[in-house]
């Protein structure tokens, strides 16, 4: 029998994800301008993206495409 609390904690990501805009695209190496104001981040990705695409970044890896719209910070 597994621990329900541990399974719940395993669902929560360990690393933060940030939304950014691809500034330089040379697959698999990209430069992403992170919206939180931290600047350009050198990232890699298994999928190709174009300049101007909005993406989710975790560490130095582009995880997936981000939807368009306004970004809000929610304090937990």
- Asked if residue 1 has pLDDT above 70, the reply is no
pLDDT in tens, 64-73: 999 888 877 7
Structure tokens at 53: 């695409």
How far is the CA of 31 from the CAs of 46, 52, 66, 70, in angstroms?
14, 11, 16, 21
- Asked if residue 74 has pLDDT above 70, the reply is yes
pLDDT in tens, 8-55: 888 887 888 889 999 999 988 999 999 877 789 999 999 999 999 999
pTM greater than 0.75: no
Cα separation, 33 vs 47, in Å, equals 18
How far is the CA of 7 from the CAs of 1, 13, 15, 27, 58, in angstroms?
11, 12, 17, 35, 22
């Amino acid at each position: 029998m597994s621990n329900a609390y541990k399974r719940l904690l395993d669902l929560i990501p360990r690393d933060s994800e940030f939304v950014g805009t691809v500034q330089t695209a040379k697959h698999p190496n990209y430069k992403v301008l992170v919206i939180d104001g931290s600047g350009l981040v050198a990232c890699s990705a298994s999928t190709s993206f174009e300049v101007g695409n909005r993406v989710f970044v975790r560490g130095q890896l582009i995880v997936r495409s981000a939807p368009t719209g306004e970004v809000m910070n929610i304090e937990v």
